[in-house]
Amino acid sequence: MNVPFPRGIELLNRDHSILAFNERVLDWAYRADVPLLERLRYLCIVSSNLDEFFEVRAAPHLIAVQAGDHKGAYSVATFEALAAAAHDLVARQYALYNDMLMPTFEAQGIKIISHGERNEEQRRWVRQYFERQVRPLLIPVSLDPAHPFPQVANKSLNFIVRLEGADAFGRHNDIAIVKVPRVLPRMIRLPEKVSGKLTLFVSLSSVIRAHLAELFPGRHVGQFSQFRVTRNSDLAVDEDDVEDLLTALREGLQHRHYGQAVRLEVSASCSEHLSSFLLKQFELPDLALYRVHGPVNLVRLTELVDLMDAPALRFTPYTASNAVHLAPGQSFFDRLKQGDMLIHQPFESFDGVLAFLRAAVHDPDVLAIKQTIYRTGSSTVLMDLLQEAVRQGKEVTAVVELKARFDEEANINWAEMLESIGAQVVYGVVGLKTHAKMLLVTRREGKGNQATLRRYGHLSTGNYNPSTARLYTDISHLTADRLLTMDMEHVFVHLASQSKLPKLNRLLLAPIQLHQKLIDKIEALGEAAALGKSTRIVVKMNALTDEALVRALVTAGQRGVRIDLIMRGACTLPAGVPGLTDNIRVRSVIGRFLEHSRVFYFRCEEDEELYLSSADWMNRNMMRRIELAWPVTDPVLRQRVIDECLVAYLHDTQDAWVLQPDGHYQRVSSLPDAPAVLHGAQDALMARYSGAAALGERRGRGR
């Protein structure tokens, strides 16, 4: 539902903007110039994104439907509009899967074969696989008063079966549920002896379907269908009402898989009787039902991508360059004394950040290491280094965010591990997520009474996760700047002790002053533009949904500020509306790597400021999270960020989309004035940092 906005402007709907982002990602699966396995991977990425969308965004709309609400931000109308958009996107996914991708795979000799397409030898192999690997793990449950509908976990694959005839006790219970164990692979590659020269796969669901009747001896299997339910997975923990947040979250995780149902997926052939039964069981309206013409869970097709040994059907491998170059005998700390360093990931390797931490761990003069932990994933490299630092006798402080969505369990485990070996673990400020990414090293330098303590810091727009650092674009900033590292020290103390924060020199901190400072900068440029001065705002980030910041941008644009917004995902600001937002352009770049860096540029005449940040311009980031923004003061590094993160993306004609006045995005390459030779920002950066000029000529490589 659109939100009323001053001067005749209506904000774009956030949820629909998120779905529109997924449409742009899906476009890569359509593109014939993208390698085939990568096209399938993009299809899976969209399905994974939709899973998270329903897990996080759908519940308020559904609650409004169940309550019969017809007014407000969430209502029957918003649910119906959102469901219509989601159904359309899902239909496009499966049409692409069936009509384009699978025929193209088959032309390459690669096929997922159904039971009806298997020859006798293949059926025999599948039967043996079923008997050895699958059947021992299946326990069909017939429903009766003693066996009620079983708990069905979030996103798990299941079969519902309608049985005919009487059971062993003469009863006519006609519904049974078969849970498909998650430990089993969803895609099975047939061996060469039964597939010949082709590359053949069978899905686990087709293996079970082919032998479904054997699970119910003495009964006749009539109607049946796969089904999958998606549940609300937002953990709601009232921090003011719990004594032990870690314990409360661990208990909450046990129930996440069984939260409120928000979506039901079934096979397209599912009968009305069975689908109605399931909708009633999960207390869902008809529009929450998604009939799909293909695998109920497209996400698991990533297994097929991983099982294939076909380099020609994948992106050309990219090896990140080494951003850290030390002179012979030079330490990391001596290098930082000469000036700041930037690492543009993944074009440059995240190994430079690990090298900084490794140098701190093994340097006998380093006394203390402080670090925030938001999403480190399952990688142990970082944690191994922190453990080693404790063993080396250094003071290690870890600010662990336990409420990092879908990483809660991993972070709880890391927190407990670090505490067990003597690290100081804190969980930030009650009621706020610690989303800031910073690492601070304190080192003793000099001898005797002349010794002093000096700080070295790392700040980042992204997470301390070596895996995603190869897939996400982010900026790492390494510094020995006295004022900046002093600010970092103050923030760490503030998070640990929750004492009053002193005035910061360079850092902008949410929720204390970041939001207002950004508004002040935007308004100041608006005032300057009204006086006839040349002004410019360019912002690159993941999302813009905060109403106050949108209002400030709109007003500044109306006063003459030229504004470019490079938005990966949700954006509620309607750009290019004649007479209202003429001075504002919004573009979205979807490439091989996931755009993740946050860069804020403000210019008035010759004076320019550039900030890097952990924060998107969303209300939650500004008001309910610990976030940082910091200036890049070195003019050479500042220009580098401008060139690589802003100018390159503003001139992208290959992977960019432009928001139209009607709220829809259009690919730049499809516009009437599109150039004949297309330019991709990510391709250019890969070429620059790999030294391979051929990469700059490659087209259609992206997410």
Which residues are designated catalytic?
A: 435
Contacts of 178 (CB under 8 A, 6+ apart): 138, 139, 140, 141, 158, 159, 161, 208, 212, 215
Helix, coil or strand: residue 257:
coil
Question: How are beta strands 598-604 and 535-541 bridged, if at all?
Answer: antiparallel
Rounded distance, CA 320 to CA 136, Å? 45
In the structure encoding, which two tokens stand for residue 372, read together?
A: 């925030």
Residue 124: phi and psi, rounded to 5, are: -65, -40
Give the count of beta carbons closer than 10 Å to the beta carbon of residue 327: 9
Residue 376 class from Cβ within 10 Å (0-12 exposed, 13-18 middle, 19+ buried)? buried
DSSP string, 194-205: HHTTSEEEEEHH
What is the rounded CA–CA span in Å between residue 206 and residue 675? 47
Does residue 620 come out as left (phi exceeding 0), alpha (psi in the -120 to 50 range) or beta? alpha
- 623: amino acid identity, one letter: M
Whether the Cβ atoms of residue 347 and residue 319 lie closer than 8 Å to each other = no
As to burial, measured by CB atoms within 10 angstroms (0-12 exposed, 13-18 middle, 19+ buried), residue 283 is exposed
CB 565 within 8 A of CB 589: no
Nearest to 455 by CA among 444, 436, 441, 476: 441
Helices 76-96 and 14-30, packing angle to 10 deg: 10
Backbone angles phi, psi at 10, to 5 degrees: -115, 130
User: Cα–Cα distance between 260 and 263 in angstroms, integer?
Assistant: 10
The owner of tokens 């219509």 is 84
